Amino acid sequence: MNNFIFENATKVYFGKGCVKEYLSCLSGKYGEKVLLAYGGGSIKRNGIYDEVVSILEKAGKTIVEFSGIMANPTYKKVMEGAKLAKENHVDMILGVGGGSVIDCCKAVSLAAVSGKDVWEEYWANPGIIDFEPLPLGVIVTVAGTGSECNGGAVITNEALKIKTGRDYPKCNPKFALMDPEYTYSVPAKQMVSGAFDILSHIMETYFSEPNEDNVSDDISEALMRSVIKNLRDAIKNPKDYTARSNLFWTSTMAENRIIKLGKKCDFECHQMEHQLGAYTDCNHGFGLAVLHPVYYRHIYEEGLPKFVRFAENVWQIKREDMTDQQLAKAGVEALADFIKEIGLPTTLRELGMENQDRLKEIADSCNLAQGGYKKMTHKEILEIFKECF
């Protein structure tokens, strides 16, 4: 394996009833005022809000609410949260929701303390955080991004039409509470979208050097098989606790940095989807589902040994009389078939794009990732977008 340094500062409390059992004592470590952050209000409909507020109030906390965090959190929303935190002198942030809420809270934790323009200093360019962000704890309600166990946050600058992410270890949540039963009320489409995001995170890491035998790739193959099996089970029975808990933890494992150890990582598909999202505000998992098979048809020959492993070890495809190229391609098509099976979109039209007028502009705005098997150009990204249309 290649050299690496590993760090993960987030303490995870996982399982049924973990919020009731641990939230009170955990919040007690960080002062009296809590910025309670959440999204569009689903936690009020499913009862999670009432449970969390009751626990905080019994613990003597003063709650400042920061609601309405959108699916693709914007820099404007980050600054709104930072203003609330500063004006109310909050002691900690408690984010309740999925990856978008958690990402926004990480950025707020920086902006509430830093006197700098956090977009320019920490998202437009990689920065150095030489101060302690506002303490952040999270209660995760959606399996998908794995944002609960890293310092990564993806933020959209609407004015610039740029959606980008950075990962700063100092932004890791102090604690993450993960009760799989909290994911039961997530709508089916959102569950499937989140699960595909998990699979995407693993593939983006897996399909990169080194190709030599390494622990990270072995773990990734097991995780991919787990996502595929458990998503199928969760679609059949949304309250299958085993399936939902496995998806929940696989989401964390995909992005807690463990499988990235010693890997270059690709994430070109994520770069392309981020810019599609910046221009169209499309669902993240849906956009990834459209892009991945087409992108892999463009690169599988450059990463042939790994794509052969993918076909054999993840999709259990028998070689029989196939060449390496045929076997690798069969693995890519198995992925495409799975996307159709679970009901995700397969074209940009299905995402609501009516014409190709802006595809070149979007393609030209994409970052070119350096870790993939094939170095992309903006011209080839445009070709991929057109094939996806």
> What does the longest C-alpha to C-alpha distance in the chain come to?
69
pLDDT of 382 reads: 98
User: Which has the minimum average pLDDT: 78-92, 237-251, 272-286?
Assistant: 272-286
Cα(241)–Cα(245) distance, rounded to whole angstroms?
6
pLDDT of 324 reads: 97
Nearest to 61 by CA among 21, 101, 97, 88: 88
User: 100 near 77, Cβ under 8 Å?
Assistant: no
**In the predicted model, what is the mean pLDDT of residues 113-142?**
94
Helix pair 99-111, 75-87: axis angle to 10 deg: 60
Q: What mean pLDDT, rounded, does the chain reach?
A: 96
Residues in the chain, overall count: 389
Name the pLDDT band for 1 (thresholds 50, 70, 90). confident
Q: What is the pLDDT of residues 29-51, one digit of tens each?
A: 999 999 999 998 899 999 999 99
Cα(278)–Cα(365) distance, rounded to whole angstroms?
10
Q: Which domains does the chain have, with CATH numbers?
A: 11-183 (3.40.50.1970), 188-388 (1.20.1090.10)
**For residue 291, is pLDDT > 80?**
yes
DSSP at 356: S
Cα(144)–Cα(196) distance, rounded to whole angstroms?
8
pLDDT of 4 reads: 85
Q: What is the pLDDT of residues 155-174, one digit of tens each?
A: 999 999 999 999 999 999 99
**In the predicted model, what is the mean pLDDT of residues 324-348?**
98
CA 275, 280, 286, 291 dihedral sign is: negative
Helix (H) or strand (E) holding 223: helix 215-236
**In the predicted model, what is the mean pLDDT of residues 276-296?**
95
**For residue 5, is pLDDT > 90?**
no
pLDDT of 2 reads: 83
The strand pair at 162-167 and 152-157 is best described as antiparallel
Q: What is the pLDDT of residues 63-105, one digit of tens each?
A: 999 999 998 999 999 999 999 999 999 999 999 999 999 999 9
